Amino acid sequence: MQTPPRAQAPYPLGYSDAEAERLGRQAARLNSVTERFFRAAGVQSGHRVLEIGSGLGHVSTLVASIVGDSGEVVGIERDAQSIAKAEQYIRAAGLHNVRFLQGDVHELALDDQFDSLLGRFILMFLPDPAAALRSLTPYVRPGGTVVFHEISWTPFLAMAQRLPLWSALVRITHEGFRKSHADMDMGLGLHRTFLDAGLPAPTMRLEMMLGVDEALTQWVYELFQTVQPKIAEHGVDTSALGDIHSLYARLRDEVKDSDSIISSGGLVGAWTQKP
């Protein structure tokens, strides 16, 4: 089956309640890494921050705690339902320094200037991330910070190879996303993307969570579940996974019995200052 060009591809993860819950669990696992990247980049108390692809507000909440009451976070998100959920989340957290605007990051028209431009797991879904960044940098003041947290599956695929079932799950999940036009190596592409957007070469870091923690198995299994309709739509061969109903239990056993560690995806941070 032919896949649509990336520019027209719908957002592959969708907006179901199950996906909202998965994003919440993912945020709880990743926020400490994201916070390290943002703080290392120079995001700080009092900053006015433009966040793109704000989703359900998990990154916005994190950034609101960094910038404090004297700062502000403006989140850009194209899905109205996600914004409604994010607003509820922000209210429940008692935050008054976050607001969301509905819109596409390619078509923003703002009057404001910001101290920081940032996002997590958003450039990987854009048809031309460098063009998007180029159109957004005028909203950053000279000397302001541009920082993104994106994923890289290259080290993840390599690390997974020691365990056959786990490796099959990682490979098939990767294929499902790739066929849906998500850039699963956006993290490694950030260097080129910043340069193509007219920004200075970024400082970059790669972090991977390692261990036998069941949260790692769960994270990828849940990603697989999310992308399963796309895997079916694109006819990706899943026979290496065996019976799907017993898959999770077999994965857990494989990790437990292997005396080996598994990893998260490669978590990449890249940041620079606008000249």
Residue ranges in contact with ligand SAM by CB under 6 A: 11, 13, 23, 27, 53-55, 58-59, 76-79, 82, 104-106, 119-122, 125-126
In single-letter form, the type of residue at position 270 comes to A
In terms of CB distance, is 120 or 171 closer to ligand SAM? 120
In 10 A of CB 107, how many CB atoms? 8
Q: Which residues contact 232 (CB under 8 A, 6 or more apart)?
A: none
Partners of 263 in beta bridges: 210
Q: Tokens 């309640």 sit at which residue?
A: 17
Closer residue to ligand SAM (CB): 126 or 197: 126
Q: In the complex, what is the shortest distance from the CB of residue 213 to ligand SAM, in angstroms, rounded to a whole number?
A: 20
114-120 β-sheet, strand order: 98-102, 72-77, 48-52, 114-120, 140-152, 266-273, 203-207
Distance in Å, CB of 6 to ligand SAM, minimum: 11
Smaller CB separation from ligand SAM, 151 or 251 = 151
Structure tokens, 151: 């994923």
Q: For ligand SAM, which is the closer residue by CB, 165 or 231?
A: 231
Say if residues 249 and 218 touch (Cβ distance below 8 Å): no
CB of 177 to ligand SAM, least distance (A): 11
Closer CB to ligand SAM, 23 or 188, in the complex: 23
Shortest Å distance, C-beta 33 to ligand SAM: 11
For residue 211, give the DSSP letter. E
At closest approach, how far in Å is the CB of 62 from ligand SAM? Answer: 9
Choice between 15 and 248, CB closer to ligand SAM:
15
Close Cβ partners of 45 (under 8 Å, ≥ 6 residues apart): 66, 67, 68, 70, 71
Closest residue by beta carbon to ligand SAM: 55
* E runs forming strands in 58-139: 72-77, 98-102, 114-120
CB of 52 to ligand SAM, least distance (A): 6
Distance CA 202, CA 133 (A): 13
